[in-house]
A and B are shown apart, each in its own frame.
Chain A
Amino acid sequence: MCLAIPARIIELEGDRAVVDAMGNRWKAKTTLLPKAKLGDLVLIHAGFAISIVDEEEAKKTWQLIAEINDFRDTPNKVSG
């Protein structure tokens, strides 16, 4: 539950942002990260940016999220 997702701020008005991660776009707020600017990569948790993150780190997390989604979708036991 505490996994935050890296996303790029593509719109920003006051503390209301639209962010993009892996092509998915959604609304988020920058209330907890006042220094966030348009174009920044940020970690989003439960609708809020909580930290600035760099490109390399974002890529690693996106990959992990894809793997965790696989994990959640695994219906049966995995052998071996």
Chain B
Amino acid sequence: MLEQIYKAQRLMDAACKKMGRPINIMEVCGTHTVSIFRNGIRPTLPKRLKLLSGPGCPVCVTDQSYIDSVLQLADHDDCLIATYGDMIRVPGKSGSLETKQSSTNVKIVLSSEDALQLAKDIPDKTVVFVAVGFETTAPATAVAVKEAAAEGVDNFCILSGHKLVVPAMRTLLSEKNHNIDAFLCPGHVSVIIGFGAFAEIVEGFGRPCVVAGFEPLQIIEGLGAICQQLAEGKAKVQSIYTAVVTKQGNTTAQKIIGECFEAADGYWRGLGLIEKSTLKLKDKYSRFDAVRRFDISEIPAEDKSGCRCGEVLCGLIEPPECKLFEKTCTPDTAVGPCMVSSEGTCAAWFKYGRERCR
């Protein structure tokens, strides 16, 4: 194990020397972010190698207008909101689902199947499943929608907030942050989409993309592999998470996503409107679409709190540069989603302190 770490360190040092300028590597997965902070990886890296935590936490990238729509639906007496626990504390314009939970209109579920079961158990309510997450989570939603259609569970619907990772990476590079040299790509999203999906980023922007798992050695080796590419002036797609990630990914899951959803333009926190970056139910499943059932218009609300989560998500600032950080915004009194979510960058900085994060 030590030998692998030394090798990765040599590759990092060589890349820093060769590039002659600071190197910025972005991870786009909340679980990577947590693992990096938890294991104190940042301080062990060469000073000129900087890790940026990108838009990899589904809670953090969900636009406030989506949260506001969910909160609006929670006010309908005939609705029951079924949500993953991660979303419960995210603040909207008027409170969060947690504050609504006392109204008995909000239930935490562990899967889309649980939400569908709720609809079967409580036929006089319309169960709205808060369908957030990237490609890892989207197929689970798709299966539930297909089952609801097959079994005629008409009091079930979803509010799709599903997002696609690659379009966000493309927008980051083309519009938001030109200083990203490479991506450490998410492990379990890649189980579904396959590491071949990142070819677009490599070919379009010449940035190395390396898929790694979540344990510290995988992350360090992933960074080493990226640095080797940078030092050699190459950019290719690579996976060192060979235990579960293939080039093609899980084609059954991809097919099920394709049967239920189509790519649509959608809003991301911090990144704005991104073309074909979200998943919308196809017309044949429109009766399960909460947006069409309840006539919800998703207009991004203006955030006047002073929260800078958007810039944090793009790797443009670090959390302490936000004037709310550690003052009015803490995990107990979170203003923005990057502090609310256990996978958020601001929460990690808060918990582990600045020294451990640099």
Measured CB to CB, the residues of A under 8 A from B are: 1-4, 26-27, 29, 31-34, 43, 45-48, 50-54, 56-57, 60-61, 63-64, 67-68, 70-72, 74, 76-80
8 Å CB contact of B256 from A3, A32, A61, A80: A32
| Contact partners of A32 in chain B: CB under 8 A | 139-140, 143, 250, 252-253, 256
| Contact partners of B143 in chain A: CB under 8 A | 29, 31-32, 48
Task: Report whether A43 and B114 are in contact in the complex, using a CB–CB cutoff of 8 Å.
Answer: no
Of all A-B residue pairs in the complex, the 9 with the closest CB atoms, nearest first, are A47-B111, A57-B243, A2-B136, A46-B140, A3-B31, A32-B253, A51-B244, A2-B188, A71-B38
- Distance A29 CA – B37 CA, assembled complex (angstroms): 32
Known: A71-B34, A71-B342. 8 other contacts (CB 8 A): A4-B188, A29-B113, A45-B188, A46-B112, A52-B244, A53-B243, A63-B215, A77-B350
| Contact partners of B191 in chain A: CB under 8 A | 4, 43, 50-51
A70 and chain B: residue at smallest CB distance:
B38
Whether B285 is near chain A, meaning CB under 8 Å from some CB there, is no
B114 and chain A: residue at smallest CB distance:
A47
Whether B319 is near chain A, meaning CB under 8 Å from some CB there, is no
8 Å CB contact of A78 from B134, B192, B342, B353: B353
Majority secondary structure, B binding face? helix
Using known A-B contacts A1-B57, A68-B35, determine if residue A53 contacts B351 with beta carbons closer than 8 Å: no
Minimum CB–CB distance for B288 against chain A, Å: 17
| Contact partners of B86 in chain A: CB under 8 A | 1
Task: Report whether A2 and B253 are in contact in the complex, using a CB–CB cutoff of 8 Å.
Answer: no
8 Å CB contact of A2 from B137, B139, B351, B355: B137
Task: Report whether A2 and B58 are in contact in the complex, using a CB–CB cutoff of 8 Å.
Answer: yes
Using known A-B contacts A51-B244, A78-B352, A78-B353, determine if residue A1 contacts B133 with beta carbons closer than 8 Å: yes
| Contact partners of A48 in chain B: CB under 8 A | 111, 139-140, 143
Using known A-B contacts A43-B191, A67-B38, determine if residue A72 contacts B342 with beta carbons closer than 8 Å: yes
Residue-wise interface mask of B (31-66) relative to A, using a CB-CB cutoff of 8 A (1 in contact, 0 not): 100110111000000000000000011110000000
Interface set, chain B 319-358, CB cutoff 8 A to A: 342-343, 350-353, 355-356
- Distance A67 CA – B39 CA, assembled complex (angstroms): 9
| Contact partners of B244 in chain A: CB under 8 A | 43, 51-53, 57
Task: Report whether A34 and B252 are in contact in the complex, using a CB–CB cutoff of 8 Å.
Answer: yes
8 Å CB contact of B134 from A2, A33, A60, A63: A2
Minimum CB–CB distance for B327 against chain A, Å: 14
Interface set, chain B 120-142, CB cutoff 8 A to A: 132-134, 136-137, 139-140
| Contact partners of B59 in chain A: CB under 8 A | 1
Task: Report whether B139 and A64 are in contact in the complex, using a CB–CB cutoff of 8 Å.
Answer: no
Minimum CB–CB distance for B121 against chain A, Å: 15
Whether B2 is near chain A, meaning CB under 8 Å from some CB there, is no
Whether B186 is near chain A, meaning CB under 8 Å from some CB there, is yes
Task: Report whether B189 and A2 are in contact in the complex, using a CB–CB cutoff of 8 Å.
Answer: yes
Minimum CB–CB distance for A3 against chain B, Å: 4
Using known A-B contacts A64-B214, A80-B356, determine if residue A46 contacts B111 with beta carbons closer than 8 Å: yes
| Contact partners of B118 in chain A: CB under 8 A | none
Minimum CB–CB distance for B14 against chain A, Å: 28
A44 and chain B: residue at smallest CB distance:
B111
| Contact partners of A53 in chain B: CB under 8 A | 243-244
Task: Report whether B351 and A71 are in contact in the complex, using a CB–CB cutoff of 8 Å.
Answer: yes
